[in-house]
Amino acid sequence: MNESSPRPTSVRPLSRRALLAAGIGSAALAMLPRDAWADSSGTGPRAKHVVLLAWDGFDPAYLDLVETPHLDELARQGSLGTTSGCFPSISNTSWATIATGAWPHTHLNTPYFIDPSSGRAVSQTRTLEAQSIAEAVTAAGGTVASVQFFIVQNHGTVYGDPRALYVQPGGPSSVRVDVAVDILHGRPVRSGSTMVTVEEPPMLLAVYCDALDGLGHQQGAEAPDMGATLAALDADLGRLVQATKDVGIYGETAFLVVGDHGMTTFTRGFGGLALAALSDAGFTPEFVSPGSAPSPQTDLAMVVGGVASVHLLGTARTDENIARARAALESVEQVQRVYDRADLDAFGASPLLGELVAEPVAGWSFAVTDPDGPRGYHGRTEERESALLLAGRGVRNGVQPQQVRHVDIAPTIAALLGIPAPAHTEGRVLTEALHHRITHER
C-alpha cells in the first residue's frame, strides 16, 4: 500500500449498533447457533458466491433511526462498522473506488470539474480507467450479474450477456431486489431490449439502490422518512437473503452491504460571498454549471458538487494566483477548508480536479441563494464515511475489521472468492475479518 494513501478520519460511534459492530463478547458468541457457513467440506471456508448490496448514501448515523432485524442478524455472524471513502465524496467516484479497489488518481472517475479536453464543466461520469471487481470475476472464469450497480456497466457487465449481465429496472429498491431474486431463481429478466435467463446463481451479484441518497438530497439528512426508508431496505435485504436459502446457496455465500458516502443537511447558501472575496482579490470568478463553458473573460472557474473544484484558467494559472485564490477563499467564514494539489494528491484524488478544492462549513453550500427548505449534500471530507456490513461464508464471527477504506472492499471480495484482486487495486484484503484459511491459501 502506498504510504501516502488517505486514511480514515475519526470513526463515528454507532450507538446501539456498537454492540454488533465491535462489542459481541466471547460469552455472547458462544451462545450463537453454529454458523451456517462453517466449513464441513474440508476444502476451506472460501465463498462460492458474493452478494453485494450497494446502498447509496448509507450514513452510519441512520443505523440508530429504526430497527433493522435482517441487517442485525447478518451482523451477529459477521461485523457491522464503517468504511472511509475518497475525496470528494461524490457517488460515482466513490462507487468507482469501491468497485476497483483504486483511488481516483488511478481510476480517474472525477466529479464536478472543468474537462481540459472540452473546456466545459462536467458533473458525474462512468469513466473507469482501472479494472473492476466484475472484470476480475469474469477474467477468472466466474459469472456476474449487476442490478443497476451502474459503475460496472460495460466494465465487466453488459446488456444481454447471461454470464456478465447488466440490468437496469429502475424503480424502488423492492423492484430491483425482485429482479435480483429472479436472477437467483433462474427466471428470465429484462436486460435492455432482451429477456435473459441466468442458468446458475452468479459468482458475484451486485444490487444498487439510491433511496437513502435521494431522500437525503430532497429533505436533508434528518428527513422524517429516513428511518422508514432504511427499514424498507432492510426488508429487501431479508428477501434477498431468503432467496439464497431458497436456491440452496446461502451456506456458500458472503454478504456485503456498503454505502458510498454519508449525508449532511444544509439550509444556507453563500456563493455570493465567495464570488465577492475572489473579485476583491483581483479575479474574474464564475460558477460554471455542468455542460457549460466559462465565459471568455473568466479567469477562475468553480464547479460545485458539495465542494467547489477551483480552476485557474489560461495565463491566470500561476503559483502566485493559486496562493492568492486560496487566501481569498479561506477568508470567507463559511469556507471550512481549502485543499491545494499537494493535499489532493495525499487524498489520492483525481488529477483532473482544479488547482484548489474548497469545502463549506456544515449547513452551508456554495449556492448563491438559500434553498427553500432543508437539503442534503455530500462531497466534503466529513461525508467520506459510510456503513459497511460483512458477513457470511469466509467471514469470521464478531471480528471487526480495522480502518476500512473503500479501496479495501474489492480485494476483499476477490479474496473471499479465491480469485486475483482487480489489477489496479491499491487497497488491502481485510484479513483480520476473514477465516485464516482464506488469508493463507491465496
Res 15: pLDDT: 58
The answer to whether the beta carbons of residues 203 and 143 sit under 8 Å apart is: yes
Confidence of residue 441 (pLDDT cuts 50, 70, 90): low
State mean pLDDT over 409-429: 98
The answer to whether the beta carbons of residues 137 and 197 sit under 8 Å apart is: no
Q: Give the residues across from 390 on adjacent strands.
A: 79, 256
Q: Is the pLDDT of residue 102 over 60?
A: yes
Task: Dig out the grid coordinates for 343 from the structure.
Answer: 493535499
The answer to whether the beta carbons of residues 220 and 383 sit under 8 Å apart is: no
Confidence of residue 19 (pLDDT cuts 50, 70, 90): very low
Write the CB contacts of 90 (distance below 8 Å, at least 6 apart in sequence). Answer: 111, 112, 124, 261, 305, 306, 378, 379
Could you give the CA distance from residue 257 to residue 53 in angstroms, rounded to a whole number? 5
Could you give the CA distance from residue 249 to residue 223 in angstroms, rounded to a whole number? 37
Task: Dig out the grid coordinates for 69 from the structure.
Answer: 432485524
pLDDT in tens, 367-415: 999 999 999 999 999 999 999 999 999 999 989 999 999 999 999 999 9
Res 436: pLDDT: 73
Could you give the CA distance from residue 177 to residue 172 in angstroms, rounded to a whole number? 9
H helix intervals, 17-90: 18-21, 26-30, 69-75
Task: Dig out the grid coordinates for 290 from the structure.
Answer: 455542468
Res 76: pLDDT: 92
Confidence of residue 42 (pLDDT cuts 50, 70, 90): very low
Q: Is the peptide bond before 45 cis (omega within 30 degrees of 0)?
A: no
Res 45: pLDDT: 81
Q: Give the closest residue to 211 by CA, choosing from 290, 292, 272, 148.
A: 148
Task: Please give the single-letter amino acid code of residue 30.
Answer: A
Given the DSSP bridges, would you call strands 268-269 and 364-365 parallel, antiparallel or unpaired?
A: parallel
Q: Give the closest residue to 423 by CA, choosing from 206, 2, 133.
A: 133
State mean pLDDT over 65-75: 97
Res 438: pLDDT: 75
Could you give the CA distance from residue 21 to residue 391 in angstroms, rounded to a whole number? 12
Q: Is the pLDDT of residue 111 over 60?
A: yes
Task: Please give the single-letter amino acid code of residue 34.
Answer: R
Res 21: pLDDT: 46
Strand, helix or coil for residue 16: helix
State mean pLDDT over 264-271: 98
Walk me through the domains of the chain, giving residue ranges and CATH numbers: 15-109+125-264+380-441 (3.40.720.10), 268-370 (3.30.1360)
Res 44: pLDDT: 56
Place of cell 459477521: 78
Q: Is the pLDDT of residue 25 over 50?
A: no
Mean pLDDT for all residues in the chain:
91
Task: Dig out the grid coordinates for 436 from the structure.
Answer: 485464516
Q: Is the pLDDT of residue 38 over 70?
A: no
pLDDT in tens, 308-364: 999 999 999 999 999 999 999 999 999 999 999 999 999 999 999 999 999 999 999
State mean pLDDT over 145-163: 98
Res 98: pLDDT: 98
pTM: 0.92
pLDDT in tens, 165-190: 999 999 999 999 999 999 999 999 99
Q: Give the closest residue to 381 by CA, choosing from 167, 86, 96, 145.
A: 86
Res 1: pLDDT: 37
Quick one: what percent of the chain has pLDDT higher than 70? Answer: 89
